[in-house]
A and B are shown apart, each in its own frame.
Chain A
């Protein structure tokens, strides 16, 4: 299935290659570079590129392209999903998945890739198993290793791979038994010029951090499971129980994992907790434009709106922006024309605003498009969907 993997950095150098079958020359990547050149934006490189003898399936994460070489028919999602899994594993191991981190840990990376695929077919992708096989490098361990000469390859054999619960390693022991569940919800909304919502969807995930001894069997129930329109589970969750009783019953993996992600149907009305007042105008003839943006909270149930980040792609004609934020800082990149404004916390008494002028290219005609504005924010301890957890039992 997957023949080879090439890691390509932003400047177009192959800095790692791994082959699971016969060696494929790295010149195959030329086709990829060609496509990369043709694409204006880095994310516009088509994920699947056919070449005369191979197919290249690539994934862009953290400014690194992971290019897999395929020789015959295989579901493309299979490869893409696997590549993402590889990236997740790297992130899990090294904290970040950057070129530097990979280069520093090239041996661990190689060992990992060797275990994850056998002859191009995924073998062990659960991080619990992998961690048993190859211990993640930590500063402490690196020091100990250099002094004692011991290794970071697990001495014991990966028994987890053999069990029926492959996601959990055996013989886990903790002095403090604890389990945490984080419910994270995201709203995705498109709002038109006049401020009315065109579409809004709520997407949520429950991330768990479970540190429990032995083989715990957990159940988790919701107050209003009906809200969850569409769910996808970690393989540890028993489907049948959910289907029948709407109760999550599972043997958790050890450590951090994503228990489920859900979707709240878009038919429900979603209350967007913030609003934006904007007034962006360009005057014909003059090389000046006015920019005025005000944010405000609404329906947040008394919770503070935090880490607000506003970004907007300004028209190409804009040379520079001279703005004055009432709070936070803003940056404008004259090359990409990206304006970003880090607002921080919204204070309901004193609404943050960003006012000022933009200078336009002399002689250029008035840009006819309205820039779109993206806003990211966080609200602690509030679930938009109104989904609440009823209880959990061991």
Chain B
């Protein structure tokens, strides 16, 4: 039918094939017939062919190649949706041969006019990465570019790609951080989840712990809190209150000021708590839990409680997370205690989790209500749940001293329950409780001893035996009797019961050897021939210890001490206790095990890293051809200003994004600008409401000022332009060619991708308004200085560097980087050197020799060599002085990666001619 001319027949055939695929039947032998139809006009047939192709291309690589040309044609289609779908299918075909084609297509699509195509490109990145991880470096470049995108459509997808390809390259986020925060609310919900999770991690590395002050206090009192939480609950609560009251006061005392960017993130995510999507709510909740100051975390409780009304699977996940949160921040959920009451219709796993939460929430004030609830639960028909309830009662009893006796009495009553499981569970719990204060409760032990006749559950039997053995001096009459009974049934018992029988025998032998000597002998003899080696082993060991012989004299003296040592009472702890080291809401947290690809949530840094990296303006060391040069100048000035001025630059992109959306929807325009205005802080609001044009005017003004101020600047400017020129000239294959290394045959290792990326870069170039002419080429002696370390962040030490364009004598493959150190501080700086160099594979660094002393106000220069391996990857290292270390990175602009080649005039002309 597939060969038929009629579309309807083809369609029918394809439908049957798809139905086969859906059922999991193999339809791969139809591959050639199906692939023929890839160019079919009928849109449904086409779609179904795509479905088929994506499914089977991996198995029939050669034949799949036949279809590629169709997609390549589609990539050039004027309609953005067709371009996008072509890219989507192309990238979904998992055939290694077409990796280069895919790479090219992604790069092209990443600079497409349509945001939808760019979004598809972002989606394609992880596909290509999983197909060929070798492409990582190139893909990171694409990601970096797409991260700079200002549309909401792209943001979610590209962050997803970022998380999959290079989650460790957190430095790529810096410049886009504020933009992402501001766009967040308009991103589609799935994207929001990914972005929020990523930002949580980012914030953990970049900001200081907002609870720093509190956590110091906590350490003081917190130690005992975890263990004796019960007894000190009251104090703790008061403490909590005090702390809350003290927070502002403390903030004054110890100047912790929240980074405005940190605040921005918290403020912008808060409204998302009201999303209809549970995943978004959870993502925000975990963000607040991990990042917000203690006083603010409370807002998430309400939203999480709301999620409990959702599907049971959602409840399950949310409750798991709530359980973890309640351990750390109990106060947060206390007002919602009743929301965690169990409904008879809940599935067991939900019930158990709710119990867990209730137990965590229990304190003196609410324990009576909780216990009353528990009493009802015990009557439930769901036995697993009843068992969990008994455990929960046990935990409440250990945690809260006042109710211990009540709980114990209640549990003892349960011993007469008809259900064996209930009794067994109670026994185990009672055992744990009794261990805390055995003296008072010998009657309970007696009661339990009687139970041994009836209870069959091994764990319970073992517990009773252990209890009797441990406290045999409280029940001197019954204990030997129990042992006698047990000895009789020894051979029929479970292993764990046998072990406890041996224990009991040993303990009785030591305390009451007169009555039990023979019994013990008997039990040990039985155990000696047991099938289980653990039991045989134990028997042998105990015999040596307690039965005095000539050889084992030394140890048997201490036997009594060994066996009857006072054992510490067990601490009943929540299984969720240590879970919070996993990022909440993650799969790993749910499973309490590390899932593949889980990114650890980093600890707060000791000192905040340089906040200026998030300034939106281009860092000088980064070549961004698309940005017009006026921006650059602006930045220079910016750095000098106090911190808040940065927000000005930041409001630019937000505004433009908003205005974009406004123009599209038309109707939203009124509220759009309102929203953005209210979103920005009061300080910024002035700037925020300014329109784009105004901003540009401002820029121009600054430009003028700048020109007056700095004479050196124009030279640098022209230098930069020259770089641009060379790039352009290369793409147009005009005659001008001097500094660009790529196409000249002498420069060996420059690979094709460099020129590729140049081509893509150049597409953006057409946007820049600079009018270029060959005349602007400056002599290569005018070098552009890049800032490596600003004097404020460097505490007086400022470092600038430039690519000196001189051969680096120790190694010809290295690029010479000339550094200029200026000490603006009042004190001398000593021992300037480089440490801890982090490089991409293949890159090398030749460090400069240590500068031993840099007196205040002086300047020194040094030259270091870096082999960038012809990539534009940054070289990261630490610049160390005798007191501090600074993280810095040098990233080469493309035009600076070169090596010296000596040409005669004729040769030069010849080269020119070839171009």
Q: A-side interface residues toward B, CB under 8 Å?
A: 1, 14-19, 21-23, 26, 40-41, 43-44, 46-48, 50, 55, 58-61, 70-78, 80-82, 84, 106-107, 109-111, 114, 118-119, 121-123, 125, 149, 151-153, 155, 157-158, 161-166, 188, 190, 192, 198-199, 201, 203, 215, 217, 229-235, 238-241, 243-244, 249, 251, 258, 260-261, 263, 266, 313, 315-316, 365, 368-370, 372, 374
Interface string of B798-831 (1 = CB under 8 A from A): 0000000000000000000000000000000000
Closest to B596 in A: A72
Chain B nearest CB, measured from A247 CB (Å): 11
Closest to A157 in B: B81
B7 and A149: CB pair below 8 A? yes
A239 and B585: CB pair below 8 A? no
- CA of A114 to CA of B55 in the docked complex: distance in angstroms? 11
- 26 A-B Cβ contacts within 8 A? A16-B22, A23-B55, A48-B317, A48-B591, A59-B313, A72-B596, A73-B596, A77-B318, A78-B193, A109-B22, A110-B51, A121-B123, A151-B11, A162-B80, A163-B664, A217-B668, A230-B302, A230-B305, A232-B281, A240-B679, A251-B665, A251-B667, A313-B344, A368-B417, A369-B379, A374-B345
Closest to B679 in A: A240
Name the interface size band of chain B: 35 or more
Interface string of B147-161 (1 = CB under 8 A from A): 000001100010010
**Contact A41:B347 (CB < 8 A) given known A106-B22, A164-B152:** yes
- CA of A26 to CA of B588 in the docked complex: distance in angstroms? 24
For B339, give its contact among A106, A158, A266 (CB under 8 Å).
A266
Q: Is B671 an interface residue (CB 8 A)?
A: yes
For A81, give its contact among B15, B188, B279, B660 (CB under 8 Å).
B279
Closest to B160 in A: A121
**Contact A72:B18 (CB < 8 A) given known A48-B587, A157-B79, A199-B341:** no
User: Which of B268-276, B620-628, B731-739, B783-791 forms part of the interface with chain A?
Assistant: B268-276
B22 and A18: CB pair below 8 A? yes
Q: Is B174 an interface residue (CB 8 A)?
A: no
User: Which of B41-49, B634-642, B703-711 forms part of the interface with chain A?
Assistant: B41-49
Chain B nearest CB, measured from A152 CB (Å): 7
Closest to B85 in A: A157
- CA of A240 to CA of B311 in the docked complex: distance in angstroms? 28
Most central of B189, B348, B598 by chain A CB within 10 Å: B189
- CA of A40 to CA of B351 in the docked complex: distance in angstroms? 14
Q: B-side interface residues toward A, CB under 8 Å?
A: 6-8, 11, 15, 18-19, 21-24, 42-44, 47-48, 50-51, 55, 58, 79-82, 88, 91-92, 94, 114-116, 120, 123-124, 126-127, 130, 152-153, 157, 160, 185-186, 188-190, 193, 197, 271, 274-279, 281-283, 302-303, 305-306, 309, 311-314, 316-318, 338-339, 341, 343-345, 347-349, 373, 376, 379-381, 417-418, 585-588, 590-591, 593, 595-599, 660-661, 664-668, 671, 674-675, 678-679
Residues of A within 8 A of B599 (CB): 73
Chain A nearest CB, measured from B575 CB (Å): 15
A233 and B341: CB pair below 8 A? no
3 nearest A-B residue pairs (beta carbon):
A72-B597, A149-B8, A151-B44
Residues of B within 8 A of A217 (CB): 667-668
Residues of A within 8 A of B8 (CB): 149
Residues of B within 8 A of A369 (CB): 379-381
Residues of A within 8 A of B349 (CB): 44, 46
- CA of A230 to CA of B304 in the docked complex: distance in angstroms? 10
**Contact A123:B274 (CB < 8 A) given known A16-B22, A313-B344:** no
- CA of A72 to CA of B347 in the docked complex: distance in angstroms? 27
B664 and A164: CB pair below 8 A? yes
For B671, give its contact among A61, A123, A238 (CB under 8 Å).
A238
Residues of B within 8 A of A188 (CB): 309, 343
B190 and A121: CB pair below 8 A? yes
For A80, give its contact among B314, B586, B660, B668 (CB under 8 Å).
B314
For B347, give its contact among A18, A43, A73, A215 (CB under 8 Å).
A43
B197 and A232: CB pair below 8 A? no
For A123, give its contact among B21, B123, B344, B379 (CB under 8 Å).
B123
- CA of A50 to CA of B598 in the docked complex: distance in angstroms? 14
Chain A nearest CB, measured from B598 CB (Å): 4
For B675, give its contact among A40, A238, A258, A370 (CB under 8 Å).
A238
A235 and B381: CB pair below 8 A? no
B18 and A107: CB pair below 8 A? yes
B274 and A232: CB pair below 8 A? yes
B283 and A119: CB pair below 8 A? no
Residues of A within 8 A of B91 (CB): 119
B348 and A73: CB pair below 8 A? no
Chain A nearest CB, measured from B905 CB (Å): 55
**Contact A313:B381 (CB < 8 A) given known A106-B19, A229-B302, A235-B275:** yes
B88 and A239: CB pair below 8 A? no
B668 and A251: CB pair below 8 A? yes
Residues of A within 8 A of B80 (CB): 162
Residues of A within 8 A of B11 (CB): 149, 151
Residues of B within 8 A of A58 (CB): 313
